[in-house]
Amino acid sequence: MPGRFYGRRELQGSLVVDSEALIYGVVEDIEVEEGQVKLKVTDRGQVKGLVPASEIADIAEGPRMVVVLKAPREAAYRGLEARAKRIRDAIGKLAIAPGRVLGKVAEVVVAPGEAGIRVEPEGSKVLLWMKLIRDLRQKSSKLAAKLESKIDPYRKPRLAGEEAEQAAKLLEEAGLKELAEQYSETPEHIDIPWSKVAKVGDVVLVRWPP
CATH of the domain at 13: 2.30.30.240
The reply to whether 161 falls in a domain is yes
Same domain, 12 and 71: yes
- Residue 59: inside a domain: yes
Vertex 153 angle, CA 141 and 64, to 5°: 175
Residue 195 and residue 115 in one domain: yes
- Domain with 163, as residue range(s), is 126-185
Determine the residue type at 48.
K
pTM of the model: 0.76
Q: Are residues 92 and 192 in the same domain?
A: yes
Q: Is residue 3 part of a domain?
A: no
> In terms of domains, do 113 and 15 share one?
no
Q: Per the omega criterion (within 30 degrees of 0), is the bond before 209 cis?
A: yes
**Nearest Cα to 167, choosing from 185, 152, 187, 154?**
152
- Whether residues 164 and 197 share a domain: the answer is no
Q: Whose CA is closest to 139, among 179, 198, 106? A: 179
Instruction: Say whether both 194 and 100 belong to one domain.
Output: yes
Residue type, 92: G
Residue 112 lies in a domain: yes
Contacts of 99 (CB under 8 A, 6+ apart): 3, 58, 59, 60, 61
- 109 with 191: CB under 8 angstroms? yes
pLDDT at position 73? 98
Ranges of H-type helices in the chain: 8-11, 73-78, 129-139, 141-150, 161-173, 177-182
Give yes or no: residues 69 and 51 share one domain: yes
Would you write out the chain's pLDDT as a tens digit for each of its 210 residues? 567 899 999 999 999 999 999 999 999 999 998 889 999 999 999 999 999 999 999 999 987 899 999 999 999 999 999 989 999 999 999 999 999 999 999 999 999 999 999 999 876 678 999 999 999 999 999 999 999 999 999 988 989 878 899 999 999 999 999 999 999 988 889 999 999 999 999 999 999 886
Out of 78, 96, 112, pick the residue that ends a domain: 78
Asked if the structure places residue 173 within a domain, the reply is yes
- Total of domains in the chain: 3
Residue 2 is predicted with a pLDDT of: 63
198 occurs within a structural domain:
yes
Residues 6 or more apart whose CB falls under 8 angstroms from that of 205 comprise 17, 21, 68, 96, 197, 198, 199
Task: Judge if 96 and 200 occupy the same domain.
Answer: yes
